[in-house]
Structure formats: C-alpha cells, structure tokens
Amino acid sequence: MAPYETLYGQKCQSPLYWYEAGEASVLGPYLIAKTTEKIKQIRARILTAQSRQKSYADQRRKLLEFEAGEHVFLKVTPTTGIGIAIKMKNLNPRYIGPFEILRQIRPVAYKVALPPHLSNLHDVFHVSQLRKYTSDAAHILEPKSVELKEHLTFQVTTVRIDDTSVKKLRGKKVLLVKIAWKRAGVEEHTWKLESKMRKDYPELFSGNH
C-alpha cells in the first residue's frame, strides 16, 4: 500500500493528460510509468522495513509451547483487557494467575481456564501474553495466613520507600518513588507518583523530606 493511500484512505488520483507549454505531446503515459515505478519502490522499501522489524522482534522473542493441563500467568496489558477487568488501588501486577491451559487453538494461541471474575474476557490468548508457571509448594498460602475482612478483602500495608527517580514527561519532571508493600506476609515493590503517595501516605515522608 502506498503511503498516500495509507494516510488519506484512498488511492492517489494522478492526472492522465498533462501538456507542456509549446508542445503537443501527451505526458500521460510517461507520468503513469514513473508513478508505477515509484509505487514499486515504495512497496519494496515497506517490505524491507517490515522484515527488519520482524527480525528485531524475533531476536527477543522466545519460542513458547504449552500442553493442556499446564499452568500459565497472564500478562496484564490493554491487549488482553486484564488491566481493565482488574482494578487495584495499590498494586499493579504485571502478571496474574496461574491459570490452566485447556487446549491449543493455533500454534500461537491457547484457550485458558479463567475464573468467574474474569468471565468478561475472551479466553483465547496469544502466546506472547502468556508466561510459563513452574509449580512450587512455597507459592501455596495456607488460609490461616491470610486474614480476610467481612467484605472479603485483605489488608495491604505500605512498609517503606526504597528508592526515588525523576522521569521527564512532555518536558516536565515527574518524581517517582519505589514503594515496598506487604500483602499477606509477602513483600512486593511498585513505582508510584510521589505526589499521590504524599497525599495518601504522608507518614512515609515524615522522615525523608
């Protein structure tokens, strides 16, 4: 597809009959030949660029294959829709799960058994959105180790600030802090906006600034 058609959504309408001043020769065939030549060059360069980008992606991509009955993590991205289905105030996990593989749909697509609270999602995922889970007995939490409240939630507490960073966004400096959280006895870390954390958890900054 030519860049003009990509940009404007329609094919370029080239004039077929152009005349040079003082001459009676028709330039239409010559113009069409030159335009056709340019279109071929553009298509060839687009294919070259696509091939180059694919080779870059293939260097970083790992060949993943799963069997029915294995368990995987699902990547939290707008592509899978999981980021919309799950809203957590404090923790923003990169992966959730594990979930069982039901069957292989295509060489790069798998059907996954989703829990009821994710039933609004399509249950077939591209292999790039999956991460293999290796069973580990240490990952199992005993019910007594997790204290649930009456509305079936558990306490997530802030522990400390481990690091700070400054990022530039649209020419402005944005201050970030690396927060250590503790959930059900497990400590995790996430980067958050300093301004929001100062507002929600001022006690973390009482001894820093």
Give the pLDDT confidence of 36-51 residue by residue, as tens digits. Answer: 899 999 999 999 999 9
Average pLDDT over residues 11-21: 58
Reference 14, options 24, 33, 6, 25; nearest CA is 33
Give the model's pLDDT for residue 46. Answer: 94
Q: Is residue 66 a part of any domain in this protein? A: no
Query: Contact 142/81 with Cβ under 8 angstroms?
Result: no
Q: Is residue 65 a part of any domain in this protein? A: no
pLDDT cut 90: percent of the chain above it = 15
Residue-range definition of the domain harbouring residue 98: 71-139
Average pLDDT over residues 117-133: 85
Q: Is residue 156 a part of any domain in this protein? A: yes
User: Strand, coil or helix: what is 194?
Assistant: helix
Query: Contact 66/72 with Cβ under 8 angstroms?
Result: yes
Give the model's pLDDT for residue 9. Answer: 74
pLDDT band at 143 (very low <50, low <70, confident <90, very high): very low
Last residue of a domain, one of 118, 139, 160: 139
Number of domains in the chain: 3
Q: Is residue 27 a part of any domain in this protein? A: yes
Last residue of a domain, one of 33, 60, 87: 60
Average pLDDT over residues 182-186: 63
**Model's pTM, two decimal places?**
0.42
Query: Contact 187/122 with Cβ under 8 angstroms?
Result: no
Query: Contact 105/66 with Cβ under 8 angstroms?
Result: no
